[in-house]
Structure 1
Amino acid sequence: MSSHQHQQDPNHVQKQPNGPKIKDVSGSVVVIMVPLPAQGHLNPLLELAHLIASYGVPVHYVGSASHNHQAKLRFHVPPSSTPGNIRFHDFPTPPFLSPAPSPNSPHKFPSHLQPVLETTSSLRSPVADLVRSLSSGSRRVVVVNDSLMASVVQDAASVPNAEIYIFYAVSAFALCWYVWESRGMAPPPEVEVDVAELISSKGFPSLLDSFTDEFLKFVASEDEFEKFSSGSIYNTCRVVEGRYVDLFASAATNGTMTKHWAIGPFNPVKVPEKRSRRSAHLCLEWLDKQAPSSVIYVSFGTTTVLSDEQIREIAMGLERSGQKFIWVLREADKADIFSGGGEARKIELPQGFEEMVETRDLGVVMRDWAPQLEILGHPATGGFLSHCGWNSCMESISMGVPILAWPMHSDQPWNAVLITRVLKIGLTVKDWMSQEDVVKSSTIEGTVKALMASEAGEEMRKRAAELGAAVRGSTDEGGVSRAELDSFIAHISR
């Protein structure tokens, strides 16, 4: 039996919160969600919107028409199970450049998305109008904004019956290091010994290496508006990083932000056994035929651009590892994923590679959007070669799947340290401080084999399965994440 074949176990059915102990506050309390317009930020706030709406609380989700469409199109919950009390507001934004991401960029940070980030200030006025409009017919208006949209919601602070809560789209572990480094603070003594060793060896990621100057200025410009917030919400679970939630809470307290809720995982922790037509993907049919824990899932998220040379090395490494795989090979998102213009890059694989993969039944190469949560929740999936974006980490953790960590930029290097050094449910593919631009096929082959075909890898899979079971349990009635969600609903409906 697979180490995470619990997905077929009826004892592990997720109990969706229906607010059994919370009064129905529909009509008296409303929530407004204000996400940053990038996939890794759009999706978790839409997931949170569904959790809150299941308690009978109306939710208003705001953004540009194209980004709202993107959020709905890629959402993994079928429309049939969607609460009817979520309303989308399409607000106009100024035109922005939407260049194709470049594989030849000198840094991996998705700076091609910066133009759309600069347009978000135009949402301030319509969001303020919406808050005031809803405030006249509601007892309380609750604004939940991405931490990078704090300036957009600032006017809600002047509405007497409105409250603002910040959502952090990254791990609490990454938030701690951001605060400590930006303030020149040393981490407290209780931080894990092996992380301290990593710091002393100068192998620890730095803000300057992970972000562009332009983006760091954008972050700093939003920080000053966090003073209007009454609390913080995290897509994490205290089972996973409760210590770091508390450490960040103590480091970030500004005198007003005294409430902290670790509500994650936001994603469903039970993959439906009966697949919808939309998710009845060929790769899932292929997975059905594979042995338990025998397949490694390879995906680098929506903002990673790989060079042709790196793609060739990955292809050779996967082939030589002898392990079955599903590889999502698609271009990174543009700022507007629906915009045309320019010739789309054709991602080339070594000649004959896809034919060889199909002939030997070695795996599946996917060039479109993948049903990631269902792939990770499938009993045949035994590992995840990942960029370590936080949504991917939480989905993998909640499904009990260990990770081969290959961070690219942003918070990903810190998440990789959390996965490999703190939780010990993954291995490092590429040393963050290595100056080598291309990871060689021999390294990829070796780490894939180490995770998928060794005793040490099997032990790691067991640890991941145990952590996944604990995280899933936390969302059940009486579990810590469920209690945090109940606490948040009780607080806003007080």
Structure 2
Amino acid sequence: MDMASRNKAYLLFPFPSQGHLAAFTSLACLLHRVAPSATVTLVSTARNVAALSAMAPPWLAFHSLPFSPSDHGLPAHAESTDALPIADMVTLFEAFESLQPAFDAYVQAMVAANASVVVVSDLFVAWAAGVARRHGCSHAFFTTCGAFGTAIMRTLWENTPLSVTPAGHVSVAVPPGFPDGILLLHTTQISGLLLRADGQDRWSAFYRRQIAHSGTTDGVLVNTVEELEPTGLAMLRSSLHNVVPVWPVGPLIRAAASSPDNDGIITWLDSQPIKSVLYISFGSQNSITQAQMARLAMALERTRRPFVWAIRPPVGLAADVAGGEWLPEGFDERARHMSRGLVVRCWAPQVRILAHHATGAFLSHCGWNSVLESLAHGVPLIGWPLAADQFYNVEMLARKECGVCVEVARGNTEDDVPKVESVAELVETVMGKTAKAAEMRMHVENVSEQMRDTFREDGGSSMKSMTMFLEATRGRMHS
């Protein structure tokens, strides 16, 4: 499936957020698999390149674009979102637009050296489509979110300020055939940034600049599976006026790489019964409040079910505050002493945990990478969305036609503190011997099987999409 890829160069340009960088790296691996003679280069700024290249395979090339965060009023080290509070992130989004001249010069040099160049850019660096066009290159967007979440976010940002009903609902236009005919979102499913947006603010202006480029591409690659998101893909295609091709090429997820079990997590999991452990993580950049942590901890003690909790500092609390102070007094020690659970500070080997036979459910913020990793390993989800597309991922996954997730709570403000009994009851519903648990496991096993089949060489849906992408982008030659 090399598709005459010799002398072809793929330039991948992600936005520097951990989830985006991880997904683009997985896309690079897929491109190398289907077009092994092509050059694959990941483009970013120096700090991001240094971090990524340290663990990269030898065939993956990198190119650094000059970038000085301090020129934009950012801390000198702030080249990715994990270095910034949410309030300052819009500045980084805007600052990345200043990379256009340097990227333009790089593409021009690559065009001179290669017969054919394909630019694949993040939706948050959509201006790269214009650079590709100026130099006669093929271009595709790659959305690291799911199709449903991407379509909803696009529609909401296109229509700021949002019209909210007295009951607190926002209606979203959906294409013909949507199961309910209309999608009503509650304000608790919409981030504060969107609710405050008036159409003239910096976030609205940024998103609208990116959306304006969407018609100038050869297509959109989506990190999803056709069988998982038929409705979401229909919505995304409709939002693009059914003119721009949409190619689902997922699931692009990290491998469960073996590494030293320094924290004893895997050894501890080995000692637990099959499908008995609840894994808890709110992602690499998200967290809940200290009051929410306390309620969750009390619910875990009530269920008496084993757990692994990858915990980050609560919202509003500095990272250097001792981890024990985040939780009810003695919680961590009681869990370890009774071998009932592990509290892991800040990082855990998520894919290895999800792949382990002892893991029975994942209480997650439902960021898209976490969703795909969970479903690929046959682990049902308990959703606690906190921001952005996470709310719409849960909305889609919990719907009857999907049925692999239930929502336990939403949001991470002091107004969103769930009851201990409610959390404990829902954990038992998903992990106990209940009809709901059996139904969810059946659904998630079906999805996991679909994901395994999607990269079959003899007709997997994502392999078909990759073939269409390669064919659509191989004909544009440089003059």
TM-score (norm 1): 0.81
Q: Is the 8 A contact 2:14 2:44 kept in 1?
A: yes
Kindly provide the amino acid, as one letter, of the partner of residue 85 in structure 1: W
Q: Is the 8 A contact 1:261 1:488 kept in 2?
A: yes
Q: 2:151: which partner in 1?
A: 176
| Aligned residues: CA RMSD | 3.0
- After superposition, the Cα gap between the structure-2 partners of 1:329 and 1:454, relative to the gap in structure 1 and judged at 3 Å, is same
- After superposition, the Cα gap between the structure-2 partners of 1:185 and 1:458, relative to the gap in structure 1 and judged at 3 Å, is closer
Kindly provide the amino acid, as one letter, of the partner of residue 290 in structure 1: Q
How do 1:206-245 residues align onto structure 2 when only pairs under 5 Å count? 206=190, 213=197, 214-245=202-233
Q: 1:192: which partner in 2?
A: 179
- CA distance in 2 between counterparts of 1:462 and 1:291 reads 20
- CA distance in 1 between counterparts of 2:359 and 2:91 reads 37
- After superposition, the Cα gap between the structure-2 partners of 1:313 and 1:207, relative to the gap in structure 1 and judged at 3 Å, is closer
- CA distance in 2 between counterparts of 1:367 and 1:439 reads 23
How do 1:176-325 residues align onto structure 2 when only pairs under 5 Å count? 176-181=151-156, 182=158, 186-193=173-180, 196=182, 199=184, 202=186, 205-206=189-190, 213=197, 214-253=202-241, 258-268=244-254, 271=256, 275-277=258-260, 282-325=264-307
Deviation at 1:110, TM superposition (A): 2.9
Deviation at 1:83, TM superposition (A): 4.2
- CA distance in 1 between counterparts of 2:315 and 2:52 reads 13
Report the number of matched residues.
442
- After superposition, the Cα gap between the structure-2 partners of 1:68 and 1:458, relative to the gap in structure 1 and judged at 3 Å, is farther
Q: Is the 8 A contact 1:178 1:207 kept in 2?
A: no
- After superposition, the Cα gap between the structure-2 partners of 1:241 and 1:180, relative to the gap in structure 1 and judged at 3 Å, is same
- Which secondary structure state, in structure 1, belongs to the residue aligned with residue 113 of structure 2? coil
Q: Is the 8 A contact 1:382 1:461 kept in 2?
A: no
TM-score (norm 2): 0.84
How do 1:322-337 residues align onto structure 2 when only pairs under 5 Å count? 322-331=304-313
- After superposition, the Cα gap between the structure-2 partners of 1:186 and 1:493, relative to the gap in structure 1 and judged at 3 Å, is closer
Higher relative contact order (CA 8 A, sep 6+): 1
Q: Is the 8 A contact 2:311 2:345 kept in 1?
A: yes
- CA distance in 2 between counterparts of 1:405 and 1:242 reads 21
Deviation by residue 1:254-312 (Cα, 9 ceiling, x = unmatched)? 85xx32210000115x646xx244x7762122112211111111000122232222221
Q: 1:150: which partner in 2?
A: 126
Q: 1:94: which partner in 2?
A: 68
How do 1:33-182 residues align onto structure 2 when only pairs under 5 Å count? 33-54=12-33, 55-56=35-36, 57-71=38-52, 79=55, 83-96=57-70, 97=74, 110-160=86-136, 162-181=137-156, 182=158
Q: 1:103: which partner in 2?
A: none
Deviation at 1:64, TM superposition (A): 1.5
Q: Is the 8 A contact 1:123 1:152 kept in 2?
A: no
- CA distance in 2 between counterparts of 1:192 and 1:212 reads 30
- CA distance in 1 between counterparts of 2:295 and 2:119 reads 46
Q: 1:417: which partner in 2?
A: 395
Sequence identity percentage: 27
Q: Which runs of 5+ in 1 are unaligned?
A: 1-20, 74-78, 101-108, 335-341
- Which secondary structure state, in structure 2, belongs to the residue aligned with residue 238 of structure 1? coil
- CA distance in 2 between counterparts of 1:45 and 1:95 reads 22
Q: Is the 8 A contact 1:120 1:152 kept in 2?
A: no
- After superposition, the Cα gap between the structure-2 partners of 1:98 and 1:252, relative to the gap in structure 1 and judged at 3 Å, is same
Q: 1:378: which partner in 2?
A: 356
| 1:445 matched to 2:427 | no
Deviation at 1:407, TM superposition (A): 0.7
Deviation by residue 1:202-243 (Cα, 9 ceiling, x = unmatched)? 578346675763433321222122232111000000010033
- CA distance in 2 between counterparts of 1:204 and 1:190 reads 26
- CA distance in 2 between counterparts of 1:401 and 1:203 reads 29
Q: Which runs of 5+ in 2 are unaligned?
A: 78-84, 160-170
Q: 2:466: which partner in 1?
A: 485
Kindly provide the amino acid, as one letter, of the partner of residue 245 in structure 1: L
Comparing 213-222 with 450-459, which one deviates more in the overlay? 213-222
Kindly provide the amino acid, as one letter, of the partner of residue 253 in structure 2: N
